[in-house]
Amino acid sequence: MFRATAVGAVAAGALLVALAGSAGAAVALPPAHGDLLHVVKPGARANASQSNNWFGYNQGTLEQGSKQFHSISGDWTVPTATQHTPGQAENSSDWIGIGGGCVNADCSLTDSTLIQTGTEQDVAATGKASYSAWYELVPAPSLDASMTVAPGDHMHADITETVSGADVWKITLQDVTRNETFTTTVPYPSTHLTAEWIEETPLLIGTDAGLASLPNLSNPAFDLSKTNGAGAGLKASEAVQLTDANGTVIGTPSAPDAQADGFAACSWATSC
């Protein structure tokens, strides 16, 4: 995720209009979600199982035996965010997506496309927490999903290519607790190469450029993860840990659950 400058947001928004226009559809874009961009993880990685702004699970088409991803779904609980360091602004997101991750097991190949939807859990420097919902077609800015979100809410998300190979996608984000659902259908030229269930820290652009700090977060408990309509079959080898600038692990997922479709995600922890 990026916090975009005004110029960056306008340029990316223009790209989104162009993508929609290429499908011949009338475009009525919702407002930008605080000029935020959720993006592929930066290249700084200690190894294939670590990232400097993601933790969770990542599957790749080569690691999966040339399987391509045409749909992804998953559930999670919106975590409670509290300030880790007094006086410091801290940011986090939980999401599912197609693209943006490691294509093969050793992460020597990565994917530059990413279509995703999720929730945001941020803490201001004053310590006040805020929660919201969004979706995004990288590199365009994230857009507001116009939902009420609160810690403890049960979320369900689904991203599905409506016709295989057509690159037209239906995005659904549902707050099961509040019985609220956001749905939109968008054109997006995905490579279909990776699938993810992720808790993320953002990359900020502007005066405070750099990776955002991680707040304290309760466990989002991802579950019911699927790709192409079937259980995800998560493997421990697909887990990704979050590291800080010194390479210290500060966020880690648990091993997959008994159904191989869920996991816990523990912030400020080396095991989960």
Q: What is the pLDDT of residue 48?
A: 67
* Location of structure tokens 């939807």: 117
Closest Cα partner for 97 from 189, 197, 221, 207?
Answer: 197
* Contact (Cβ atoms closer than 8 angstroms) between residue 241 and residue 251: yes
Q: How far apart are CA 186 and CA 114, in angstroms?
A: 13
Amino acid, res. 77 = T
Scored b (16 or more CB within 10 A) or e, 68-79 reads bbbbbbbbbbbb
Q: What is the pLDDT of residues 240-258, one digit of tens each?
A: 999 998 999 999 999 999 9
Q: What is the pLDDT of residues 53-97, one digit of tens each?
A: 999 999 999 999 999 999 999 999 999 999 999 999 999 999 999
Which helix (H) or strand (E) is 14 found in, with range? helix 6-22
E-assigned strands of 112-222?
Answer: 114-123, 129-137, 143-144, 154-161, 168-175, 180-187, 194-200, 203-204, 210-211, 216-217
Q: Quick one: average pLDDT of 252-272?
A: 97
Fold of 2-267: Jelly Rolls (2.60.120)
Predicted model pTM: 0.87
Residue 35 has pLDDT above 60, yes or no: no
Residue 38 has pLDDT above 80, yes or no: no
The number of residues making up the chain comes to 272
62's CB contacts (< 8 A; 6+ apart) are: 103, 104, 105, 109
Burial class of residue 270 in the structure, from the number of CB atoms within 10 Å of its CB (0-12 exposed, 13-18 middle, 19+ buried): exposed
Q: What are phi and psi of 175, to 5 degrees?
A: -90, 100
* CA-based max dimension of the chain: 50
Q: What are phi and psi of 128, to 5 degrees?
A: -80, 130
**Structure token digits, residue 73:** 């779904």
Q: How far apart are CA 227 and CA 98, in angstroms?
A: 10
Q: What is the pLDDT of residue 210?
A: 74
Q: Quick one: average pLDDT of 231-243?
A: 96
Kind of pairing between the strands at 2-3 and 54-60: unpaired
Q: What is the pLDDT of residue 39?
A: 52
Which helix (H) or strand (E) is 15 found in, with range? helix 6-22
